[in-house]
């Protein structure tokens, strides 16, 4: 059985695939801080971590 969170995530991904900018923004606001923290822990450099996260979201939008 799927949790409500995973169903919401799947719904957001379906909307993103259709080019929905609001879904993209929701995904960004939901995951960007966690990704930034993980990237910073790996690199130890705030600017590099920010660039990595930016590249992730650019790629996500381009591959929708």
2: pLDDT strictly greater than 60: no
Helix axes 4-17, 21-43, angle to 10 degrees: 110
9-55 confidence digits (pLDDT tens):
789 999 999 999 999 999 999 999 999 999 999 999 999 999 999 99
> How sure is the predictor about 3, in pLDDT bands with cuts at 50, 70 and 90?
low
Give the pLDDT band (50/70/90) at residue 1: very low
- Taking Cα atoms as reference points, which of 31, 49, 52, 50 lies closest to residue 40? 49
């Amino acid at each position: 059985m799927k949790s409500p969170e995973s169903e919401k995530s799947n719904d957001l991904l379906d909307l993103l695939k259709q080019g929905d900018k609001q879904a993209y923004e929701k995904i960004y606001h939901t995951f960007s801080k966690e990704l930034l923290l993980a990237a910073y822990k790996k690199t130890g450099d705030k600017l590099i971590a920010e660039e990595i996260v930016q590249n992730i979201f650019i790629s996500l939008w381009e591959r929708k």
